[in-house]
């Protein structure tokens, strides 16, 4: 890639990226229900003269840049959904939807992909690759948007897939990458305990669902400390417990929600089965019953070494020594449904700027993205596609 092939009107590109991100940031939506976000993406693509479709999934958007048929098709995934979080950033472009926020940087992901499309569109006839833009809903959901789009054939014509995710633990101007398994599998577990009500002063006449739940909780902690290899990369976090309504009635229904993250399928299956057994035993011992649901919403993300090498080379062209080999993360991403089926790379773009605000983390209500990082992210997407195309040739 040379300056003769891409018009480098830096300020115009920066302004475009910031406008796209801030426009999208104001209207976060969650799950598959992202109609306003979808309409905005379609409007941006229409302005660029890019044909698009929603055929792979409701409120998804897919389009192409590049006209040649003798070149590799390289897809870039940008997730579209926000989170049910009340924004507390105080920004003048903060969320206009009460109770919802782009707290995971998906607004930045969409903006950088749009910026790359805008930059490449004028020279699409000469590109040594064809860019397939995949704007995907429901990355944060238990029901995966990526899985649905894959099942509907979104990768059928694709050779490689890229996914760039912002990272609040890396400074703006840095890139993180890793080989092999880079993100954990995610298995949500939902357990409902059923007992029998009684007056609080005669608890022996009832079957306490809360007691069943906390007996299970204690068993889980013992299992984690005594039945799992301490060197195993895994997390089993109880994120929600609910039961009872008033102080003077023995609770007859309680619910526990667990987030299980693992790198190894055998460990995942062991924990799922073991927690089920603990819950069943606790319920039976206290005279109740249990409903148990567990399903893997996303497998682990596994990078392809060849694609990582191309990404690393492309990043070093732009960021020099600020390209870092980082540890895998226990967070999950349904990009894994793409990575499991096509050679792919999932990497991290630094967006922390401590000279502007304190350090903020993904999924927090004060999460911030440094706009100064956006142009580098756009350039990195473009340069990685060029590196891939050249390496293939």
- Calculate the dihedral angle through the C-alpha atoms of 8, 9, 15, 20, rounding to the nearest 10 degrees: -50
Domain membership of residue 1 (yes or no) is: no
CA distances from 237 to 217, 240, 260 (A): 10, 9, 6
Where in the sequence is the domain holding 211, given as residue range(s)?
185-294
User: Which residues have CB under 8 Å from 302's CB, separation 6+?
Assistant: 180, 181, 182, 336, 339, 340
Going through the chain in order, the beta strands assigned E by DSSP cover: 52-53, 61-65, 73-79, 130-136, 160-171, 175-177, 181-183, 185-194, 234-243, 253-262, 289-294, 301-302, 323-325, 344-352
Give the model confidence (pLDDT) of 67-125 as tens digits: 999 999 999 999 999 999 999 999 999 999 999 999 999 999 999 999 999 999 999 99
**Does residue 5 form part of some domain?**
no
Whether 3 is in a domain gets the answer no
**Of 294, 327, 345, which residue sits at a domain end?**
294
pLDDT for res 142? 81
Same domain, 121 and 189: no
Same domain, 285 and 337: no
Residue 273 domain flag: yes
Same domain? For 227 and 273 the reply is yes
pLDDT at residue 4 tops 50: no
Tell which residue, 167, 194, 232, has the closest CA to residue 363.
167
154 & 194 share domain: no
Task: With cut-offs at 50, 70 and 90, classify the pLDDT of residue 393.
Answer: confident
CA distance 34 to 168: 25
* Domain membership flag for residue 373: yes
Q: Does residue 88 belong to any structural domain of this protein?
A: yes
- Whether 20 is in a domain gets the answer yes
Last residue of a domain, one of 255, 277, 294: 294
Q: Are 386 and 28 in contact (CB under 8 A)?
A: no
Residue 84 has a CB neighbour count (10 Å cut-off) of 12
Reported as a single tens digit per residue, the pLDDT across 223-238 is: 999 999 999 999 999 9
Return the pLDDT at 7.
62
Please tell me the predicted confidence (pLDDT) of residue 3.
40
Question: Quick one: pLDDT band at residue 9, thresholds 50, 70, 90?
Answer: confident
Residue 193: CATH number of its domain: 3.30.70.360
Q: How many CB atoms lie within 10 A of CB 247?
A: 6
Q: Is 6 a residue whose pLDDT tops 70?
A: no
Contact 254, 192 (CB under 8 A): yes
Helix (H) / strand (E) containing 19: helix 10-25
Kindly state whether residue 4 falls inside one of the protein's structural domains: no
How far apart (Å, rounded) are the C-alpha atoms in residues 216 and 120?
Answer: 55
Residue 151: CB atoms within 10 Å = 12
Q: Does residue 252 sit in the same domain as residue 139?
A: no
Of 294, 318, 343, the last residue of a domain is: 294
Q: Is the pLDDT score of 326 beyond 90?
A: yes
> What does pLDDT average to over the chain?
96
Q: How many C-beta atoms surround the C-beta of residue 232 within 10 A?
A: 14
pLDDT average, residue stretch 133-156: 96
- Domains: count for the chain: 2
**Mean pLDDT of the region 344-362:** 95
334 close to 150: Cβ distance less than 8 angstroms = no
Task: Render pLDDT for 195-204 as a digit per residue (tens, 0 to 9).
Answer: 999 999 999 9
pTM value is 0.92
**Same domain, yes or no: 93 and 27:** yes
Residues in the chain: 393
If asked whether residues 317 and 252 sit together in one domain, one would say: no
């Amino acid at each position: 890639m040379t300056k003769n092939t891409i018009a480098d009107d830096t300020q115009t590109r920066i302004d475009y990226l910031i406008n796209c991100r801030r426009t999208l940031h104001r209207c976060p939506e969650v799950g598959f229900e992202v109609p306003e976000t979808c309409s905005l993406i379609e409007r941006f693509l229409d302005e660029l003269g890019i044909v698009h479709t929603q055929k792979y999934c409701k409120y998804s958007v897919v389009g192409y840049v590049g006209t040649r048929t003798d070149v590799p098709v390289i897809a870039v995934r940008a997730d579209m959904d926000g989170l049910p979080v009340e924004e507390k950033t105080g920004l003048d472009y903060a969320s206009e939807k009460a109770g919802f926020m782009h707290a995971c940087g998906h607004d930045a992901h969409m903006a950088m992909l749009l910026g790359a499309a805008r930059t490449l569109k004028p020279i699409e006839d000469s590109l040594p690759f064809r860019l397939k833009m995949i704007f995907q809903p429901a990355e944060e959901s238990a029901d995966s948007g990526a899985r649905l789009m894959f099942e509907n054939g979104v990768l059928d014509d694709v050779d490689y897939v890229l996914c760039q995710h912002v990272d609040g633990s890396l400074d703006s101007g840095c890139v993180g990458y890793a080989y092999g398994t880079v993100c954990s599998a995610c298995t949500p577990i939902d357990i409902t305990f059923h007992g029998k009500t009684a007056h609080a002063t005669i608890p022996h006449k009832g079957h306490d669902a809360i007691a069943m739940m906390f007996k299970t909780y204690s068993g889980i902690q013992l299992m984690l400390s005594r039945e799992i290899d301490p060197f195993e990369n895994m997390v089993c976090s109880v994120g929600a417990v609910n039961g009872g309504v008033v102080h003077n009635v023995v609770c007859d229904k309680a619910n526990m929600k667990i987030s299980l993250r693992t790198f190894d399928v055998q460990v995942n299956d062991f924990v799922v089965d073991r927690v089920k057994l603990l819950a069943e035993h606790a319920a039976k011992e206290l005279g109740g019953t249990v409903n148990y649901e567990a399903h893997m919403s996303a497998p682990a993300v596994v990078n392809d070494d060849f694609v990582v090498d191309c990404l690393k080379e492309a990043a070093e062209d732009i960021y020099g020594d600020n390209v870092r080999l980082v540890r895998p993360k226990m967070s999950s991403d349904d990009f894994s449904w793409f990575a499991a089926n096509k050679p792919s790379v999932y990497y991290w773009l630094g967006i922390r700027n401590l000279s502007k605000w304190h350090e903020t983390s993904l999924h927090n209500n004060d999460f911030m993205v440094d706009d100064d990082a956006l142009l580098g992210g756009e350039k990195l997407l473009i340069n990685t596609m060029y590196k891939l195309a050249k390496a293939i040739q």
